[in-house]
Amino acid sequence: MTTPLTIAIDGPSGSGKSTVARAVAERLGVGYLDTGAMYRALTWWCLERGTDLADVAAVAQAARTLPLDLGTDPGEVRVTVDGTDVTAAIRTTEVSTAVSAVATNREVRPVLQQRQRDLMASIAQRTGGVVAEGRDITTVVAPDARVRVLLTASEEARLRRRSTELHGDADASSLEATRDQVVRRDRDDSTVSRFDEAAEGVTLVDTSDLSLEGSIEAVLDVVAGETAADGA
């Protein structure tokens, strides 16, 4: 029986990891896991229920009981919490501004990390493989993944991409409005996760000067190289 293909992709905000990971999963015909959506969904759930995000224990308890259904089809990723479709809601400025408080909660992370491991195993068995992306997938969640990639880009490139995604352009005012969601989030999240440099055995792919297609092909090249080296 063929061993499922597990691919872990980490990277900072605006590096393109979500778009690239989905495309890679689609082209390989395997499942997809957006671990960042889990933290966003938990943030939305806490805000919806009036849970104080500064209350470490309360947020950790919410993580343990979060009624989350996370879509794994890279072509249409839907996120549902307690029967409510929150796919769009978890991408709002309100959630984006608050999510670091949840993502840096040291009692929350182990809970969601185990959930991510379980989901990766389930998806891989069901579809023959999984592309999981986030902040600490290559080092904490799945350090034994067959392929591990750190996708990075310059701060300028990351700001430009995220600004265009959120505001439709990358002029000076849009870039400044986006800065908090990129630079500040990375600074906060770096206190609990190392995604600024590739760990041993992790391949670094810098997308600063690459197009989307070029970024996708670069990761697919890494996958091809790693699987060929394994004799796949």
pLDDT in tens, 97-124: 899 999 999 999 999 999 999 999 999 9
> What digits encode the pLDDT tens for the residues 8-32?
999 887 788 889 999 999 999 999 9
Strands 129-134 vs 5-10: parallel, antiparallel or unpaired: parallel
So what's the pLDDT on residue 193?
Answer: 65
**b/e code 135-174 from CB counts within 10 Å (16+ = b):** bbbbbbbbeebbbbbbbbbeeebbbbbbbeebeeebeeeb
The CA–CA distances, whole Å, from 117 to 72, 107, 157, 205 equal 14, 17, 31, 24
Nearest by Cα to 141 from 125, 123, 118, 124? 118
Q: Supply the pTM of this predicted model.
A: 0.85
Structure-model confidence comparison of residues 197 and 170, the more confident one: 197
Q: Which domains are seen in the chain, by residue range?
A: 5-221 (3.40.50.300)
Minimum mean pLDDT among 51-60, 137-146, 152-161, 164-173: which range? 164-173
Q: Mean pLDDT throughout 57-80?
A: 96
Residue 213, pLDDT above cutoff 60: yes
